[in-house]
Every structure is written in C-alpha cells, then in structure tokens.
C-alpha cells in the first residue's frame, strides 16, 4: 500500500491507497514543532481504526509547501513505515509534464501534483482552482504541461484580514448568503466576502480563457471547493481528491514495475 502525504500551509492530509482504492484519509493541522513520533503515534491509531497496520505500508510519497515540515515527515516514513519517501520536487522524480515558466523551481509542489492529476482525469486544456490557504488558479494545456496561473488570498485569509484591520468588524463564519444586500454588519460581511469571491473566481476564469484563446475545463478542488462550485456556473467539475490522486499517479510513474 502507498502512504500519500500532502503537506499544506494549514493542514496535512495523509492517505493510504491500495491500488486505486483510497483506504483511508486523515487530516491534521500543520505544525512544524510536531515531532515524527507524535505524528507516528497519531497516524498508527487512525490506521488501526480502519483495520490497517503499519506493516501494510510499502511506499510513501510527499508533496509539501512547508519546508520546515519535511524533516519530520521523512523521519515518520522511515521510522514508522520502513520506507524512504519519494518527494515531489526532488531531482529524479519524474512528473510527466513540462513546466513552461521562467522560474520553474518556484512552483509549489501541490500545484504541480494537481496538474498531473487533472490532466489524467480530464480532457483538453484545464484551469485547476485549489481553494486552500491561498486560492490558486493553474493552467494546464492539452498536452498536460503546466503553463502558470494566478494566486489569490484564500477566503479565510480574507476574512481574518478584514477582522484584524477593522476594529468594529467581528470574525464571521463562511457561508452562502441568500441575499447580496446585507441588512446588518455580519450579513453584509458574509455577502461581501462570498459574492466578492465568486466575482473574483468568475473574473479570473474569464480572463484566463481569453488569454489562453481556447476552450478550457474548470476543475475545483480543496476544502472549500464545494461551497463555491455550487454557486458558480464557470466551475465544470468538483474533485475533492485531486491532489491525492496526483500523488498516486506520480508514485506509479516513478516506481518499479513490482511497486505500482
């Protein structure tokens, strides 16, 4: 079985694949001070709940945008699962795509993994929107090559910035208001954030398509993707497991025949 680890700025997702079947998926907050042993005990308990054992894991792959987490994640794989993890972005790890950028080394591993998975799962040119700590818009051409994109503040960052910068504005929960015109402070904030974000999504998608000059399928992923996918017709597909499926695909591309 494969242990896939997606380490983001806010959360780390651990998943176990048996072939194409996702046997388990668990999420914890990203904390660089959490040791490999702490992660190992936590993850071992969750595996047991799902009827899995540490010994069932034969390989591991990591994509991380938090360099401070890498040592503990590698140690976790070595100490608790007895395998040397493959790391997206390391020399020799074949992604099966070209990065058509001026500085390809600056692209986050998660964005490349999403591009790999999206090209495998969907046809033609693509826009992949990942609703995470930041909201990223990534362009993948019909050949599967990564062409660049746009990065916007995530909606939680926007909410926190609004609260921190304005003394009289409270923290509010993310939700889809029934009305655009708020009749009090909280509904007005919820409307501005939610419908403003919808306008951001639709505006960027429209501009990307115009600049690209062709038809494109828009795929949404990330924790808050369902909230926005239902509210905008520009999003064609919702794919919650896109990053994990990309890690599985990269593992298979780089593993020996007996390990796929």
Catalytic residues: 110
> What SS3 class is residue 140?
strand
Task: Report the distance separating Cα 2 and Cα 22, nearest Å.
Answer: 10
The CA radius of gyration of the chain, in Å to the nearest whole number, is 19
What residues form the annotated binding site for K(+)?
130
Annotated binding site for substrate: 108-111, 185
Rounded CA gap, 18 and 81, in Å?
Answer: 15
b/e map 106-141, b = 16+ CB within 10 Å: ebbbbbbbbbbbbbebbeebbbbbbbbbbbbbbbbb
For the annotated binding site for ATP, the residues are 6-13, 133
Percentage helix, strand, coil for the chain under 3-state DSSP, each rounded to 5? 40, 25, 35
Task: Read off the tokens for 225.
Answer: 């993707």
Q: Cα–Cα distance between 200 and 234 in angstroms, integer?
A: 12
> Annotated binding site: which residue ranges?
6-13, 108-111, 130, 133, 185
Residue 5 is encoded by which pair of tokens? 């680890």
What is the spatial distance between Cα 211 and Cα 137, in angstroms, rounded to a whole number? 14
Residue 207 and residue 211: Cα distance in Å, rounded? 6
């Amino acid at each position: 079985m494969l242990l896939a680890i997606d380490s983001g700025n806010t959360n780390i997702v651990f998943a176990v694949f048996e072939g194409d079947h996702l046997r388990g998926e668990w999420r914890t907050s990203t904390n660089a001070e959490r040791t490999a042993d702490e992660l190992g005990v936590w993850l071992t308990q969750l595996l047991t709940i799902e009827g899995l054992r540490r010994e069932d894991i034969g390989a591991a792959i990591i994509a991380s945008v938090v360099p401070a987490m890498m040592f503990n994640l590698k140690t976790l794989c070595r100490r608790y699962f007895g395998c040397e993890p493959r790391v997206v972005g390391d020399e020799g790890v074949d992604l099966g795509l070209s990065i058509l950028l001026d500085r390809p080394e600056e692209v986050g591993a998660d964005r490349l993994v999403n591009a790999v998975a999206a090209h495998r799962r969907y046809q033609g040119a693509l826009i992949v929107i990942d609703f995470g700590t930041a909201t990223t818009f990534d362009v993948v051409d019909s050949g599967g090559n990564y062409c660049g994109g746009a990065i916007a503040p995530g909606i939680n960052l926007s909410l926190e910035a609004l609260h921190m910068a304005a003394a009289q504005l409270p923290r509010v929960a993310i939700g889809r208001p029934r009305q655009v015109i708020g009749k009090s402070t909280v509904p007005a904030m919820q409307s501005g954030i939610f419908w403003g974000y919808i306008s951001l999504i639709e505006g960027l998608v429209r501009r990307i398509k115009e600049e690209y000059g062709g038809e494109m399928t828009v795929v949404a992923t990330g924790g808050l993707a369902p909230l926005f996918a239902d509210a905008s017709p520009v999003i064609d597909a919702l794919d919650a497991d896109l990053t994990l499926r990309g890690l599985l695909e990269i593992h298979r591309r780089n593993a020996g025949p007996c390990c796929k």
